[in-house]
Structure 1
């Protein structure tokens, strides 16, 4: 198996399923520290950031000549253009160039969904204040401004009036630079409850495994918490599922796990964005805990050419017919920055009712940053309960006993 980019726990999962699996990895230098079980990688080719498609192709061809590649995967959302090129060159299955483009370029996604009659949210590429103002004349305020490709809520701003445009463009441009993206976009802002949809696809068949309720910081749109399964009425659940599966078909998604963010507003489902990877923020782990729907395992099995769709379908049916157990995660956040001197309360939080995991991601000497993006969240706790409110209250209570001692 040729693995492009990182992939976290998916590499060990695949090796556990096939102990005789030989793996080669091509990745960027920044990925190397995060590779799991590096001693079990047969070949590791490290490329500099910004390496050309030709370099990636040369690396893949070199590996294929020495140890012919049977399967190829990219478990991440990075270097997808290189993945498509290598797929075509080696004749191995992977998402198409168009699918990768629709998913990574949010303006392209908007155009495709509008053409398919799924979501007509207006959007446009912008670079100047006058372009934003012209767009607002037709779309109206409020608007969202963000990098056309991005992760972790970086550079996302709400524009409620023309007074907000300069700050939004400046913040978006700064974030775009760190993301190695040049383009910004604006689109109509939708008021409503936000959810994420975790789905599994196999040869064009799509199955929604879970809908997750999201709790968002209202100005920077950073995710503060999640509850699953989302406490949705049946009609709303069905509408969300149909919209997302129609979207996956329209974008040409054939296989794999997807994580799609949507907003339910006035009985209409609006697509925010989708990703060709499992969700972050412990969502797959929480889902497996309460339902035995293990999307990470399913993806690992599928990447090896093994059947996985029917297993996910059977687990979903069992989960839907039995008594509900809910899971929720909550993140710590700060309005101020400083140097972390100590963190107290961790063991107390771990001993609270229903708490499954408490994790602190900063240590003494680290800098605590005000909340502007996902990586600014210094800790989290997740818990289970017999009702969504109970699970969420337990997770929030566990985070509430954590005490961060910070100095300037």
Structure 2
């Protein structure tokens, strides 16, 4: 009998290793298909395999999977989001082509276009920030004036806060719109202009049509939206929890989602929860690890079960607070040294310390998720205790950039 394979389209520095490990625990052989496999440090460790291929070419991907079928029984296919959602769209199309369980490619593709997503949410009556779309700097300026400053500018297609910026005045709008429209990797060349929804940021994770977890996120200094800390579960009243769960499920219905994992980002504003973004997949930034520590639910393993045609179980098995602190440099330059990770890892309650950089690395901040040079994860029975553990560990890590 051929060995059962789990096909992973591209990779992810935080979720990628966990998909490989979870797949292996389920007696699957993970194979990563990537245009540049060497960019993922974890590939090649243990029994993980990789094939080099143009993952933007759907026909080539289908052919490669057909070749793999001569050796393996392909049990499931999934992918990750990088700078945009195109990889996850490709994975969903592969699932459909090979008659494997997976999300609806049309719904996934609709979510990838933030303007189309906004239209679907607004049409369904889901509360969203006021928004416009534009393709020229003058049109962006006019839209910002109509909405009222400050506004958030972002590419219509993208992820990880890439290219997202808060613009306080007309000069900011002109500068960032000019930058985005001149970017070589901006395709299509459209900019989403949004009202700045002020309020606490919440991250809601679902599996199928069930709300699994609600956490909070804190960001670094504006005008960028670089994640600084994430904590699960969020401190909510029963009414707040129900309200956010209802809005989240309304988002799924509006977008034609409801299979597998999804992540909904909301802000609690003066008019209640407002939908910022919906992703038809698991988020990165250590969220699956935090949910497992806080709730005892391994969302990655449960997702893989669905991919291979088994039932998932997302019932809560644990009650504690888990949080992640992301290490964000305050300047560009050359990383001379970074130290203290071993001491931080030894702090009771710390479950993981991971650094993404080595000395002599060039630090070039772009205001997105790649600005993080590492993270610390901690868990304990209480919110106060977990935050204290995180702070103690973070204080032990230091670095020098010149």
Query: Where on the TM-score scale, by shorter chain, does this alignment land: which range?
Result: 0.7 to 0.9
Deviation at 1:192, TM superposition (A): 0.5
Report the equivalent of 1:261: 265
2:211 maps to which of 208, 213, 222: 208
Distance in 2, Cα, partners of 1:56 & 1:347: 41
Report the equivalent of 1:160: 168
SS in 1 for 2:100: coil
TM-score by length of 2: 0.86
Q: Please give the per-residue CA displacement for 1:241-274, whole angstroms capped at 9, x wherever unaligned.
A: 1111121122112321222211111242111112
2:395 maps to which of 381, 395, 400: 400
Deviation at 1:222, TM superposition (A): 0.6
Distance in 1, Cα, partners of 2:53 & 2:107: 25
Distance in 2, Cα, partners of 1:359 & 1:39: 19
CA contact (8 A) 1:333 1:371 kept: no
Question: Is 2:341 the partner of 1:346?
Answer: yes
**Alignment size in residue pairs:** 388
SS in 2 for 1:243: helix
Report the equivalent of 1:14: 23
Deviation at 1:130, TM superposition (A): 1.7
CA contact (8 A) 1:345 1:403 kept: yes
1:167-206 equivalences in 2 (<5 Å):
167-173=175-181, 177-178=184-185, 182-201=189-208, 206=209
Distance in 2, Cα, partners of 1:279 & 1:292: 17
CA contact (8 A) 1:5 1:31 kept: no
2:293 maps to which of 289, 292, 313: 289
Question: Is 2:155 the partner of 1:147?
Answer: yes
TM-score by length of 1: 0.85
Change (3 A) 1:328 1:179: farther
CA contact (8 A) 2:10 2:87 kept: no
Stretches of structure 2 that go unaligned for 5 or more consecutive residues are none
Distance in 1, Cα, partners of 2:256 & 2:288: 23
Change (3 A) 1:406 1:232: same
Report the equivalent of 2:127: 119
Change (3 A) 1:22 1:187: same
Distance in 1, Cα, partners of 2:187 & 2:394: 34
